[in-house]
């Protein structure tokens, strides 16, 4: 496991101090919408194990990045990609050396109807269905991965007239869940429970059909002196948090 010492130096607290001994503080963070469910669970655990509190805002990575660049008071970003955290580092908005990959996402073609999605490749190539929901590929890495998948399978031109686009992966899921789209490319974490797809039916997209959905977290300049942010980043790398991340269908490095 990587050392957390740089984060402790950033926060200006001693590396040897346990989390529970730190003075209670508050971390204000921005979180990619695909990670909403696991992050809420991790926050509950973190707050129970420490004196800290966390205020989280959820949204598309592209919009969160724009809000940060426009002065939003976030102290850390949990992105759905690697590009925005790297860019924030290059722009001097994020703390160099604080970035790490907290989760690797999986894409699934999902329908709210049981047995509607069995062979995803055959469905996309020959299926008779209505609308197909994807997240906006300009804002959401899962949307970009959806487009890459369709291109890899040679079905993008045929499916494009049927596409309905969500602002983020959460809205994309809602389109399918409410029946406004027959199927949609969503995050596996949104439909997974106890290691399997909880409702409806789905096809987990093989990772070789799109770029890896490596999700990076980074501490922003506003959070440089906040022990709650440093402790939260430590916690994200703990065995407890990693177990939650895996339970929701993500992989970790």
Please tell me the predicted confidence (pLDDT) of residue 148. Answer: 98
CA-nearest of 72, 39, 36, 55 to 172 is 36
Whole-number Cα distances in Å, 7 to 14, 80, 97? 10, 21, 8
Euclidean distance between CA atoms 230 and 216, whole angstroms:
15
Please tell me the predicted confidence (pLDDT) of residue 3. Answer: 40
CB 55 within 8 A of CB 26: yes
Q: Which residues contact 118 (CB under 8 A, 6 or more apart)?
A: 201, 203
Buried b (16+ CB within 10 A) or exposed e, 193-229: eeeebeebbbbebeeebbeebbbbbbbbebbbebbbb
Please tell me the predicted confidence (pLDDT) of residue 13. Answer: 36
Structure tokens at 148: 């890459």
Structure tokens at 77: 């970003």
Euclidean distance between CA atoms 173 and 125, whole angstroms:
22
Q: Which residues contact 127 (CB under 8 A, 6 or more apart)?
A: none
pTM score of the predicted model: 0.78
Which residue, chain included where needed, has tokens 């003075």? 23
Please tell me the predicted confidence (pLDDT) of residue 23. Answer: 54
Please tell me the predicted confidence (pLDDT) of residue 198. Answer: 78
Give the count of alpha carbons within 13 A of 204, CB side only: 14
Q: Is 200 helix (H, G, I), strand (E, B) or coil?
A: coil
Q: Which domains does the chain have, with CATH numbers?
A: 5-104+213-247 (3.40.190.10), 107-204 (3.40.190.10)
β-strand pairing of 196-197 with 192-193: antiparallel
- Per residue of the chain (253 residues), give pLDDT as tens: 444 444 444 444 333 344 434 458 999 999 999 999 999 999 999 999 999 999 999 998 999 999 999 999 999 999 999 999 999 999 999 999 999 999 999 999 999 999 899 899 999 998 778 999 999 998 888 999 999 999 999 999 999 999 999 998 999 999 999 999 999 999 998 998 767 787 899 999 999 999 999 999 999 999 999 999 999 999 999 999 999 999 998 999 8
Residue 23: its H or E element: none
Other beta carbons less than 10 A from residue 251's beta carbon: 16
């Amino acid at each position: 496991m990587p050392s957390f010492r740089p984060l402790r130096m950033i926060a200006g607290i001693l590396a040897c101090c346990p989390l529970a001994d730190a003075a209670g503080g508050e971390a204000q963070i921005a979180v990619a919408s695909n990670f909403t469910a696991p992050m809420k669970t991790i926050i509950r655990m973190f707050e129970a194990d420490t004196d800290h509190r966390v205020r989280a805002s959820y949204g598309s990575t592209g919009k969160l990045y724009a809000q940060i660049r426009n002065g939003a008071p976030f102290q850390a970003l949990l992105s759905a990609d690697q590009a925005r955290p790297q860019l924030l580092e290059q722009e001097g908005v994020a703390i160099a050396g604080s970035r790490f990959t907290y989760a690797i996402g999986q894409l699934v073609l999902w329908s709210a109807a049981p047995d509607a999605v069995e062979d995803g490749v055959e469905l996309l190539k020959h299926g008779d269905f209505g609308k197909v929901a994807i997240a906006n590929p300009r804002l959401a890495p899962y949307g970009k991965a959806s487009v890459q998948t369709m291109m890899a399978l040679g079905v993008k031109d045929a499916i494009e007239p049927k596409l309905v686009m969500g602002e983020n992966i959460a809205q994309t899921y809602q389109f399918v869940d409410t029946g406004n789209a027959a199927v949609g490319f969503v995050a596996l974490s949104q439909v997974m429970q106890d290691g399997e797809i909880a409702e409806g039916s789905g096809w987990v997209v093989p990772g070789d059909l799109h770029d890896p959905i490596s999700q990076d977290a980074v501490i922003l300049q506003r959070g440089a002196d906040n022990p709650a942010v440093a402790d939260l980043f430590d916690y994200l790398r703990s065995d407890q948090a990693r177990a939650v991340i895996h339970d929701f269908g993500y992989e970790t490095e």
